[in-house]
Structure formats: C-alpha cells, structure tokens
C-alpha cells in the first residue's frame, strides 16, 4: 500500500480539546476586538461629522467671504436666544464683559478675559443648522450697536496707532506697513497716512476688524436685526434694548457714566481728501446706518486707570 493511501493514526488529525479551546478563544477575542474598535471609533466619527457640518456651514454662509466675518463676530447666548454682533471700537469690550456676566462667568468683570479666552460662544463655533437659526430664525433676538464711521476711524487711530511707545502700537503699525507696501510709512504715522492706507486700493489684505466696515463684519445688508442702536445715543437707546431683553438691572455694567479724561473735535482730524476717501470706502456704512457725510461731534479719551478703577468697583 502506498503512503498516500495509507490510513494515518487518529491522534494525528483529530483536534484535541485544548486546541479547540484555543481556536474558540482566539475567535472570541478577534470578534470582540472588532466591536471594541468600532465602539472607540464612534466618537471620532461623530467628531468628524460635526467638523464636516461646521465646514458645510462655512460653504453655505460664505457665498461671499463676508459671512465668515459675521460668524466670527456674532456672540450667541443660547440659553437666552440672543445674538449680538460685536465690532471693535463700538463699546464692544464692555458689551462682551456684560455677555460674560449674562452667561454666568464668576470672573466676568476681569477685563483680561474679555477677548482672549472669554469662553463666549461665537456663531463660527456652531454647526450649520444652528447658524441658520441664529442668523435668520424668529427664535433669536439679534441686536447691533453702530458708530459713525468718522468717529470709529479716529478711535481706531488713537487707540491702535497713535499710542507712542506701546507694544500694541508697534504691532499695529507693523501690520499697516505689511498691508500697504506701496506706501512709505515711517515710525510716526499721521492720521492722513492711516486713512490713505486703510481706504487705499494699494492695501493688500485690509482685514483688521478695528477699521473694517461695519457692513462687512455684521452684514447689515443681509441680516434682519431686531434692534440697532447707535453709540452716539447709547445712554438713551440702551434702555429700550435692555427692556426688550429683560436686562434692565445690567445697565450699570456698561459703565456709561464714566467721565472722559479729555476730548477733541473729530472734524479736526480730517482734511477734505480724508473725508472723500472715508465716504467712498465706508459707503455702505453711511448708507445703511444713515450717518451724516460730515465729521461731527467729539472723540472722548479714557485712561486705562479709569477703566481699571471702574471695573474694580464691579461685584463679580
């Protein structure tokens, strides 16, 4: 009989009980390993899905890039269904402090957390369906505080450019030089040079929100705000706004009774050419906010010591 046809002993091919146990155990571990992997992968899948939703919202609301700025500047109080479009140089620091108070932050009056690490929710952090509701839904109360473009530009210049010897001023001057390489800007930048840079077609990337048009940041042409009040009349207008919101007890948080340390006529800053440039660059702001085409009123100055003193009197 050949070897190929010879019957082999049973112990050669019959699996033992131990071997069967090993096979079953291996299958069990492999099967459950797959399930564990699926389980731990689920949060990542959910997170990725959320990120896709957020990116989708950017696509929906960025038919033009102005919506991206709107999302970044819109502060959302979900618990109260309130949305506020925050624009620099329009009392936004005090308003953001108030928003932190309304959200229940124990250190709401600490001005170090007003902008960086504020903990406030912006529309840019929300998924697309929520953004849609915040910007257009009847469930939300939307408001905005406006300012005369002439006054706002002077405020930006004095606060960010003309503060001699400060690191903040050096930073913003450097930004201007980068944004306007076609202009020769020295160590001292005059107001007229500042206006020319901000409003000039030579600017390569004029995106700083401190002097970006209000219509660009808050889409005044596309968003229906329930109330728009002006900084020029804020002491009177804020009462109506806060009555709508039920925030009457928070008016003192804005520190509107703070006395300025000095003031200067806004028209004294402007030449005829400056006015022409501002009217052209901020044309939509003048149109939608109905401000005079002539610089009027005064720019008021407040010292950091004043704000620190007032803030320290607030009860966190």
Rounded mean pLDDT of 201-210? 69
Establish if 259 belongs to a structural domain: yes
- Locate 112 and state its tokens: 């170090």
Note the pLDDT of residue 176.
84
Establish if 151 belongs to a structural domain: yes
Note the pLDDT of residue 223.
94
Nearest to 236 by CA among 145, 174, 117: 145
Establish if 298 belongs to a structural domain: yes
Full DSSP string of 213-238: -HHHHH-TTT---SEEEEGGGHHHHH
pLDDT category of residue 94 using cuts at 50, 70 and 90: very high
Here the contacts of 199-203 (C-beta below 8 Å, separation 24 or greater) are 199/277, 199/278, 199/280, 199/281, 200/277, 203/179
pLDDT tens digits for range 3-13: 444 343 444 44
Report the number of distinct structural domains present in the chain: 1
Establish if 19 belongs to a structural domain: no
Q: Which residues contact 75 (CB under 8 A, 6 or more apart)?
A: 83, 84, 85, 86, 96, 99, 120, 121, 122
pLDDT category of residue 62 using cuts at 50, 70 and 90: very low
- Locate 176 and state its tokens: 């201007």
* Residue 84, domain extent: 59-313
Q: Helices then strands (H, E): number in the chain?
A: 13, 7
More confident residue, 125 or 174: 125
Q: Are strands 227-230 and 121-122 parallel, antiparallel or unpaired?
A: unpaired
- Locate 228 and state its tokens: 């728009």
Q: Which residues contact 217 (CB under 8 A, 6 or more apart)?
A: 66, 69, 70, 73, 85, 87, 209
pLDDT tens digits for range 225-282: 999 999 999 999 999 999 999 999 999 888 888 888 889 999 999 999 999 999 999 9
Establish if 49 belongs to a structural domain: no
Establish if 289 belongs to a structural domain: yes
Spatial contact of 147 and 139, defined as CB atoms under 8 Å apart = no
Establish if 53 belongs to a structural domain: no
pLDDT tens digits for range 13-39: 444 554 445 444 544 444 444 333 333
Establish if 24 belongs to a structural domain: no
């Amino acid at each position: 009989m050949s070897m190929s046809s010879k019957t082999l002993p049973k112990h050669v091919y019959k699996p033992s009980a131990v071997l069967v146990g090993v096979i079953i155990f291996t299958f069990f571990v492999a099967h459950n390993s797959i399930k564990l992997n699926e389980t731990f992968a689920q949060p990542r899948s959910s997170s990725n899905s959320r990120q896709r939703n957020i990116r989708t919202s950017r696509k929906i609301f960025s038919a033009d890039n102005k919506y991206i700025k709107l999302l970044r500047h819109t502060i959302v109080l979900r618990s109260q269904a309130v949305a506020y479009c925050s624009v620099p140089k329009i009392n936004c620091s005090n308003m953001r402090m108030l928003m932190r108070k309304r959200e229940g932050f124990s250190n709401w009056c600490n001005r170090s957390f007003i902008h960086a690490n504020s903990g406030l929710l912006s529309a840019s952090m929300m998924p697309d369906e929520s953004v849609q509701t915040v910007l257009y839904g009847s469930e939300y109360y939307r408001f905005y505080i406006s300012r005369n473009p002439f006054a706002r530009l002077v405020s930006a210049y004095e606060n960010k450019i003309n503060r001699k010897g400060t690191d903040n001023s050096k930073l913003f001057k450097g930004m201007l030089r980068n944004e306007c390489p076609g202009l020769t800007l020295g160590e001292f930048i005059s107001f007229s040079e500042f206006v020319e840079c901000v409003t000039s077609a030579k600017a390569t990337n004029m995106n700083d929100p401190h002097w970006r048009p209000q219509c660009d940041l808050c889409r005044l042409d596309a968003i229906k705000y329930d109330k728009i009040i002006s900084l020029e009349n804020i002491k009177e207008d804020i009462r109506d706004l806060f009555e709508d919101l039920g925030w009457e007890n928070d008016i003192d948080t804005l520190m509107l009774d703070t006395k300025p340390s000095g003031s200067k006529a806004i028209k004294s800053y402007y030449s005829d050419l400056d006015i022409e440039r501002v009217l052209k660059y901020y044309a939509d702001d003048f149109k939608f906010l109905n401000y005079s085409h002539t610089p009027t009123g005064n720019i008021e100055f407040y010292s950091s010591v004043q704000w620190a003193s007032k803030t320290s009197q607030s009860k966190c």
